[in-house]
């Protein structure tokens, strides 16, 4: 286990190209000379999902690095868009480019969970020079319809819990089959990331209008695949983390990805589904070692 150093953690806000306020959680240790990391969350998720990993990477006294976790528009502490149609990958990709420029990241290692991984693949098609390495968390070029329909079934439709304990129970009922080994404290932590306290009670940490973007999804009409975007990823280190119980990234798709990228590093999490939490020490250390590979490759030019 690497030694732990001190890290300055703060929230910063940047303007999207259309002026919308975007929140970034910034982990900035002193003396961080390694490649920075930009974390992009899932469809209805937020930057808090990356806190364990961000603290692990940034506080590593032997190899500290800056880590930035973005709240996409309409999620977390970023502003809600008055037009739900702007919750689309093209606009969100422009937001990522703008934030990366505002942070002066140059080249970075991208960690994308689900929707964030889609944005990472899209980034490869428009600004491949920004990507020094990529971790795709439970996402690939083919998205399984069953998983999409499951997400459609709850996104923007969950009842408001009475309190966080009630919220934890709701999440366990909804996701328990995909995360069978989580403890009561794990579910409570998930509830804390999922809802925020308001004067009217607990509210989701995302704009429920996001559900509008899913309304036309049908199980018999799969989404277009992203193989061209996957193949546009530059020849830099690439890792895929897959939950064995995932209904979004199938084992067949993962094998096809390995067939197209012989150097693909794969981590499979045996007791988790969509999407792995990236919070277990063994997983975080594998990601840290992968990022060392990214540093080594970058130093070779």
Residue 244: alpha-carbon gap to chain centroid: 18
Compute the radius of gyration of the chain from its Cα atoms: 18
Model-level pTM? 0.96
Predicted pLDDT at 265: 98
Predicted pLDDT at 199: 81
Give per-residue pLDDT as tens, 233-269: 999 999 999 999 999 999 999 999 999 999 999 999 9
What six digits make up the tokens of 72? 């996409």
CA dist 287 and 301 (Å) reads 22
The tens place of each residue's pLDDT in the chain, 301 residues long, gives 455 678 899 999 999 999 999 999 999 998 888 999 999 999 999 999 999 999 999 998 888 999 999 999 999 999 999 999 999 999 999 999 999 999 999 999 999 999 999 999 999 989 999 999 999 999 999 999 999 999 999 998 888 999 999 999 999 999 999 999 999 999 999 999 999 988 878 999 999 999 999 999 998 888 899 999 999 999 999 999 999 999 999 999 999 999 999 999 999 999 999 999 999 999 999 999 999 999 999 988 6
What six digits make up the tokens of 140? 């690939």
Which of 227, 251, 232, 243 has the alpha carbon at shortest distance from 279? 243
> 110 — phi, psi (to 5°)?
-95, 135
Domains of the chain with bracketed CATH: 7-147+225-299 (3.40.50.1820)
Please say whether the beta carbons of 256 and 270 come within 8 A. no
């Amino acid at each position: 286990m690497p030694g732990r150093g001190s890290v300055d953690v703060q929230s910063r806000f940047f303007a999207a190209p259309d002026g919308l306020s975007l929140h970034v959680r910034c982990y900035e240790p002193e003396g961080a000379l390694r490649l920075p990391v930009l974390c992009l969350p899932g469809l209805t998720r937020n930057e808090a999902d990356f806190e364990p990993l961000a603290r692990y990477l940034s506080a590593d006294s032997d190899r500290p690095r800056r880590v930035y976790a973005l709240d996409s528009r309409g999620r977390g502490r970023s502003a809600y868009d008055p037009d739900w149609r702007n919750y689309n990958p093209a606009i969100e990709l422009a937001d990522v480019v703008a934030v990366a420029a505002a942070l002066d990241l140059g080249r970075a290692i991208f960690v994308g969970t689900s929707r964030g991984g889609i944005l990472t693949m899209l980034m490869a098609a428009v600004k491949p020079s920004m990507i020094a390495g990529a971790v795709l968390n439970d996402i690939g070029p083919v998205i399984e319809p069953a998983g999409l329909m499951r997400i459609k079934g709850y996104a923007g439709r969950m009842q408001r819990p009475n309190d966080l304990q009630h919220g934890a129970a709701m999440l366990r009922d909804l996701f328990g089959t995909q995360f069978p080994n989580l403890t009561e404290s794990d579910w409570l932590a998930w509830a804390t990331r999922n809802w925020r306290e308001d004067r009217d009670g607990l509210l989701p940490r995302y704009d429920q209008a996001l559900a509008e973007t899913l309304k036309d999804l049908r199980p018999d009409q799969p989404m277009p695949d992203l193989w061209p975007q996957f193949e546009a990823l530059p020849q830099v280190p690439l890792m895929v983390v897959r939950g064995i119980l995932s209904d979004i990234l199938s084992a067949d798709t993962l094998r096809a990805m390995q067939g197209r990228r012989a150097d693909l590093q794969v981590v499979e999490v045996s007791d988790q589904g969509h999407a792995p939490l990236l919070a277990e020490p063994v997983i975080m250390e594998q990601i840290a070692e992968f990022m060392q590979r990214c540093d080594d490759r970058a130093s070779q030019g």
